[in-house]
Structure 1
Amino acid sequence: MIRGVRGATTVKHNEQNEIIAESHKLLKDIIKYNQIEADDVASVYFTVTEDLNDTFPAKSLRKIEGWTYVPVMCMREIPVPGSLQKCIRVMVTICTDKAQKDIHHIYHNDAVQLRPDLKS
């Protein structure tokens, strides 16, 4: 079965190193808490708010050993007035036998406010 694993984080600055570092931390926790192997990943999608354009957060995935062939793509979030700024969201689609309730969605930094019901 295919399941989606969600996550999000924020950065303080529109700066390449910070965007990649925070995206990397987020991915590492998603992988760890869901025991994900690269071969079980169908795809990874990142979105960023319109105030982040210094780099692609997908570059963070390439820093993870064994994830070279995982398909990854970046897109821009819908600019909803009043929404969380400097936010990076990710959807990792995996092949798994886990039930939906057993998936651990991960939220870091100011992004915890997006899903307070899913505290990690």
Structure 2
Amino acid sequence: MQGIRGAITVENDTKEEIIVAVQKMLKSILSENDITSEDIGAAIFSATDDIKSAFPAFAARQLPGWNLVPLFDAQQLDIENSIRKCIRVLLLVNTDKTQKEIKHIYLGRAATLRPDIH
């Protein structure tokens, strides 16, 4: 089992924008790592405290094959001067890939969180 990280930002706290962003992030993680929803043991989402219109897990649940994936939402710590309107995910994935082979995905302004992998 390996952990795969991802993050994405939204410009506006709307249900529609959150759903589109979360699904974009998840599809990118699956594609870049050549995995499917069946490979995922669990997904843990966090969002900054300025995201209030939709649960990230709700957005994931709308994707085909995600209805059986255990999903969990939490609020990200409110740290001074941290990135705003950000949704993060940690996927626990059954894979034979090594941690070095895993591709973590950071989109939008969230790319600034991990400049070492871009």
Same fold, TM exceeding 0.5? yes
Counterparts of 1:5-16 in structure 2, within 5 Å, are 5-16=4-15
| Alignment correspondent of 1:27 | 26
Aligned runs of 1:1-120 on 2, under 5 Å? Answer: 2-119=1-118
Deviation, structure 1 residue 65: 1.3
1:40-70 alpha-carbon deviations (Å, 9 max, x no partner): 2110011000111111011221222122100
Question: Gaps spanning 5+ residues in structure 2: where?
Answer: none
Question: RMSD of the alignment, in Å?
Answer: 0.8
In 2, the alpha carbon distance for the partners of 1:24 and 1:18 equals 10
Q: Give, in angstroms, the shift of residue 97 of structure 1.
A: 1.0
Q: What is the percent sequence identity of the aligned residues?
A: 40
Unaligned segments of structure 1, at least 5 residues: none
Q: Which moved more, 1:19-28 or 1:35-44?
A: 35-44
Q: Secondary structure of the equivalent of 2:112?
A: helix
Q: Which runs of 4+ in 1 moved over 3 A?
A: none
Deviations 1:63-114 (A, max 9, x none): 2212210010110001010100000001111011111110000010000000
Cα shift at 1:39: 2.0
Compute the displacement of 1:26 (Å). Answer: 0.2
